């Protein structure tokens, strides 16, 4: 089974591409890290309790107020606590100063391990049910170390940073210009991600450029999926399914090769920084 990574940056169109891949003619199962990240911090979960314990004392508006229709009252809709006030938590962790970076690291340390466990369970299920490919929709795919697990990766990107900022402000009008910029910066430069993924080689790393309208985006998705499909034809997918030892060998080879590409990229960036 092919693990197809899908990433980008905020307001580049990754969710739209995910919806296209979920629909005909592709009909691919999607493991959405954002959806799982919400699931693992629902009231009553260990993740929720850890966030409230760490952020609650210094963030008075961390939980939705009892008067909010979505809060479910003082003790939440099911008595397990009021849901997290996500905009308030976002203001606490998004930004460039040292304190926000520290808090963001704490939050990631709570959420990411729980999300990984859910993703492993979903991947096993899709493999056992005979899917040729599963999409791992992960905004911080490179940063979280998932790059080496993916046989192919799609980066959804825009060439013009102004397009990204405009889309974000239109989608989330409550964000100030500073808040929008902080959120974009927190996910890294998407053009650098595009450059990075292309180092993986044809089919193993592709870029969907989304500076234009949705029809153009559909054509871009069709183009890159044809390239990916050539590397993973049906007969190869069935062979890996019915011959688990071969699947293990192929997976190990892909992991080693992509780990090498990842190390080379990181070492190159370290050398560039050392020259500054």
Please tell me the distance from the alpha carbon of residue 142 to that of residue 162, in angstroms, as a whole number. 23
**DSSP string spanning 176-233?**
-HHHHHHHHHHT--HHHHHHHHHTT-TTTEEEEE-SS-HHHHHHHHHHHHHHHHHHS-
Q: 89, 108, 130: which is the final residue of a domain? A: 130
Q: 130, 149, 167: which is the final residue of a domain? A: 130
Domain interval for residue 40 = 34-130
Q: 130, 163, 186: which is the final residue of a domain? A: 130
The dihedrals phi and psi of 224, each to the nearest 5 degrees, come to -75, -30
Same domain, 142 and 12: yes
Same domain, 157 and 274: yes
**What's the number of domains the chain is made of?**
2
- Reading the chain (276 residues) residue by residue, the pLDDT tens digits are 899 999 998 889 999 999 999 999 999 999 999 899 999 999 999 999 999 999 989 888 988 888 888 787 777 777 788 889 888 888 888 877 888 889 899 998 999 899 999 999 999 999 888 899 999 999 889 988 899 999 999 999 998 888 888 888 888 888 788 888 877 777 778 899 999 999 998 889 999 999 988 999 999 999 999 999 988 888 888 888 888 889 889 889 999 999 998 899 889 888 888 876
CATH code where residue 124 lies? 3.40.50.300
């Amino acid at each position: 089974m092919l693990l197809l990574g899908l990433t980008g940056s905020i307001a580049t169109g990754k969710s739209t591409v995910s919806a296209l891949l979920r629909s005909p003619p592709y009909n691919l199962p999607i493991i959405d890290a954002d959806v799982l990240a919400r699931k693992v911090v629902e009231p009553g979960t260990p993740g929720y309790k850890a966030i409230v314990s760490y952020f609650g004392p210094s963030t008075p508006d961390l939980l939705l107020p009892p008067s909010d229709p979505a809060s479910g009252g003082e003790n939440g809709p099911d008595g397990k606590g009021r849901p997290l006030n996500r905009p308030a938590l976002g203001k606490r962790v998004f930004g460039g100063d040292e304190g926000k970076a520290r808090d963001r690291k704490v939050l990631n340390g709570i959420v990411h391990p729980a999300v990984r466990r859910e993703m492993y369970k979903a991947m096993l299920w899709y493999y056992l049910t005979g899917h040729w490919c599963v999409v791992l929709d992960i905004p911080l795919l490179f940063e979280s170390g998932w790059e080496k697990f993916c046989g192919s990766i799609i980066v959804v990107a825009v060439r013009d940073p102004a397009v990204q900022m405009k889309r974000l402000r239109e989608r989330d009008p409550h964000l100030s210009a500073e808040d929008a910029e902080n959120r974009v910066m927190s996910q890294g430069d998407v053009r650098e991600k595009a450059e990075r993924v292309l180092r993986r080689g044809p089919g193993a790393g592709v870029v969907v450029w989304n500076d234009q309208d949705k029809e153009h985006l559909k054509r871009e998705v069709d183009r890159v999926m044809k390239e990916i499909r050539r590397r993973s034809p049906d007969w190869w997918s069935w062979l890996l399914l019915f011959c688990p030892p071969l699947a293990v060998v192929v997976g190990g080879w892909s992991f080693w090769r992509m780990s090498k590409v990842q190390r080379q990229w990181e070492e190159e960036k370290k050398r560039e920084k050392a020259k500054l």
